[in-house]
Amino acid sequence: MILTSDRIAELSAAWEDLSPPEIVARSLELFGAGITLASSFGLEDVALIHMAALASQAPVDVFCLDTEVLFPETYALMHRVQDAYPVRLRRILPALSLAEQAERHGPELWSRAPDLCCALRKVEPLGRALEGYDAWITGLRRAQSPTRRQARTIEYDERHGLVKVNPLVRWTDDDLRAYIQSEGVPYNPLHDQGYPSIGCIHCTRAVAPGEDPRAGRWSGFAKTECGLHQ
Ligand code: SF4
């Protein structure tokens, strides 16, 4: 590990009151080329890419877990972001193509066994995306769900064996929206059409006003997380 657990705890306490752009800038400075930014091109991720581009002289190392079943709007945004910012985008594909997955596990796995589908198309690729890095930046926010309330600004990710930086932990939905608007950050138009959280096309639906923002993910299943942050 590049930092001791004591040093991580010290930084976590010190960074708790910093603004997200400051946390992004400090983490890029601390880890240099050893840090990568996870992006599913949600509001959190485009805000983080914007902050990182403002803070860094070098292209920002960004990776996307491309499950091959993302919304067309997400793929379009990916291209827009690449045009707008100096990013080095790595698209990490699952080991199995959709056809190979269907052949091995049956058609439309997401409709029968979404945990297995996420394990194949997101969790395993995440491990590969993080190989060789000392730290990763994520868009985790405490307000997103009860399972994320304990997230720290910087913590050790035991599962993947590297440091995890969560610059947005303290931000509310309104804080995030206000930043996107004031900075003119490009974002997915689906967010204005009832999609607070956007994942794969088969597992995301629009939510009604007043409905839990996470209700649109894996609707009909008890599942609430893809397994990337557990
Ligand atoms: S979100 Fe749905 S389609 Fe995407 S990997 Fe998970 S189960 Fe599969």
Structure confidence by residue, pLDDT tens digits, 39-54: 999 999 999 999 999 9
pLDDT at 204: 93
Q: Say how far apart CA 176 and CA 170 lie, in whole Å.
A: 10
**Exposed/middle/buried for 144, CB within 10 Å: 0-12, 13-18, 19+?**
buried
* Protein residue whose Cα sits closest to atom 6 of ligand 1: 118
Distances (CA, A) of 137 to 31, 116, 118, 215: 11, 25, 20, 25
Pocket of ligand 1 (CB under 6 A): 67, 69, 110, 114, 117-118, 121-122, 199-200, 202-203, 226
Both structure tokens of 15? 């960074």
pLDDT of amino acid 2: 77
The residue to which tokens 């190979």 are assigned:
100
In degrees, rounded to 5, the angle at the alpha carbon of residue 40 between the alpha carbons of residues 191 and 103 is 110
Measuring CA to CA, how many Å separate 147 from each of 120, 124, 132, 133, 151? 22, 21, 28, 25, 9
Euclidean distance between CA atoms 52 and 28, whole angstroms: 8
Ligand 1 center–CA 3 separation, angstroms: 34
C-alpha 117 to ligand 1 mean position (Å):
5
Q: What is the pLDDT of residue 226?
A: 67
List residues with catalytic annotation: 226
Pick the atom of ligand 1 nearest to 223's CA.
7
**Tokens (6 digits) for 28:** 């890029």
Residue 138 near residue 165, CB atoms below 8 Å: yes
| pTM of the predicted protein model | 0.94
Average pLDDT by stretches of 10, the chain with 230 residues: 89 96 97 97 97 95 98 98 97 98 96 95 97 97 86 95 97 96 98 92 89 74 68
DSSP letter at 202 equals G
